[in-house]
Structure 1
Amino acid sequence: MPDPLRPLRINALELMRQPGAIRDIADGIEAAPLGVEHDRLTSHIQVDLNLEALTDGIKVTGTLQAQWSTVCRRCLADISGCAVAEVSEVYQRDMVDPEAFAIEQNQLNLAPMVREAILLELDLERSCREDCAGLCPACGVDRNEATCSCDITVRDNRWAALEGFVIDE
């Protein structure tokens, strides 16, 4: 069985022999082997990266894209879109920069960077639109499409014990 993450494993030694050398990667990667088993992702992660050899590492720049689909957090309508992550990272053999990714055993493993960038672009809660009115908490009608006559006055129950309290003057 072929390794689905093979396009994200690069021979760093070959690239670093020539500082200034550039290598492009354009591929569709399955999300599950990356550990992005996100039920919201509906397609492969499109990876378009540019690798540039530096004297002390490799600079990776480019774009990652993934289609997503979920439900509105307010009205439960189906919504979808495209998560786009712009990346600019450095991989180093001798970890001088604590923010850099490591080159281990002369291999550049782009999978952790791709995983991190895509997950950061996926919002945990999305709305179908900014002014979504949501569902009525009493009858469940979609308040974007219809109105209801439910009384949805919010009561602070912490003060309920004092309702019958009468102060004699």
Structure 2
Amino acid sequence: MVPGADKLAGCPATPSKPPVGNGLPDISLPCLGAGPDIRLADLRGPLVINVWAQWCGPCRDEAPYLATLAKSAKVTMLGIDYDDPRPELAVKFAADEGLTYPHVADQDKAIQKALKVGGPPLTAFVDSSGAIAYVHRGVLTSQNQLNQLVEDKLGITP
């Protein structure tokens, strides 16, 4: 386990589900904290997935909005530490920013093709059927913007 990973939320065990059309890719990624690997295709919403890296300046800018959304408890959240050679710094970043939800590591850019990741940050909104309702590419610029996306794409008022 990465030093300091015990400060992060553990990844939950997820029941196996069949992949859905326009859903998350059938890829398993290791938990950045404690817990089992997460198979993305098993996940259902309402879910907000944020693709980030500790070396990404805009990711640091939007982190407070994600931390605030995580406190609302109306949506499930998952972070994906993307293309990050320093997992120990990723753990420190997530802990320092109060990103209290589970995170997985994608050092090999396994999600790049499926989510068309040009680079972090990227935020995906997954509905209750497991389909990707919307992908926001680039930095979230305000709490209001993030809350509005959750409301518009997932039908939930944070």
TM-score under structure 2 length normalisation: 0.24
Which structure has the greater CA radius of gyration? 1
Larger relative strand fraction: 1
Which structure exhibits the higher relative contact order, with contacts defined as CA atoms closer than 8 Å and separated by 6 or more residues? 2
TM-score under structure 1 length normalisation: 0.23
